[in-house]
Structure 1
């Protein structure tokens, strides 16, 4: 296991784990596909299943996440190299994915279709940016969060 000095990217005081960015981008593409299917068919069950999957990834339970497992399989099958990065920002992104997909599902359940579609569109945009361009908006926000700043004294 690499020491803190050799770890790529900034350290995270919340999550010291490393994650595979390549598999993460594939997972974003898979999530985007599931989101598009759910929105096209108005399948509340699918968006809520996606919310559960995001929750699993946000809490570090990647082995239980069908999306993370499939993404890892596809990365290996395509012979793409793993690119290890700090997992903290990606887990924060998964937590936001959980909130947006849960919000979408709940909005659809109570009949607020426009709100659900707006939340789905925001989630879809973020997933598309990650999958196709490697731009993680939540990861850009993560360093500015209050818990990211390590205390410098007593």
Structure 2
């Protein structure tokens, strides 16, 4: 599947996040949204790349329509994951949105240099966090046309 065309279509979203509280808030925001989606969650960068490359326990994983990527991850950080995605011809077209608690200018610059499609800062307040995820969902899954799976 390439992108949601009709209400029956669902977007596959890969959330790469190691903070259980942020995972819960993201799941809650997507549940409350009006857009159908399937949220897949992995907790570190190594798992993210295994999911994307359909390796090991993720052999049957769907190709995500979009990746929500935290920067501060165990085993392989978000910058390393983003760099590997962009260097992989099979994955490079997948939109990646950095969703992180960092507001550091160098993190923002680095993410865009590594070709992130967007950089969102997680608010500390849970309600504001949910609103950021809802806004992401509305824009990326309703307004933007995502590339088809085969890149054409």
TMscore range, shorter length: under 0.3
User: Given the two structures, how large is their TM-score scaled by the length of structure 2?
Assistant: 0.27
Task: Return the structure number with greater helix share.
Answer: 1
Structure whose residues are more often strand by fraction? 2
Bigger relative contact order, structure 1 or 2 (CA pairs below 8 A, ≥6 apart): 1
Bigger CA radius of gyration = 1
Q: TM-score, normalised by structure 1?
A: 0.27
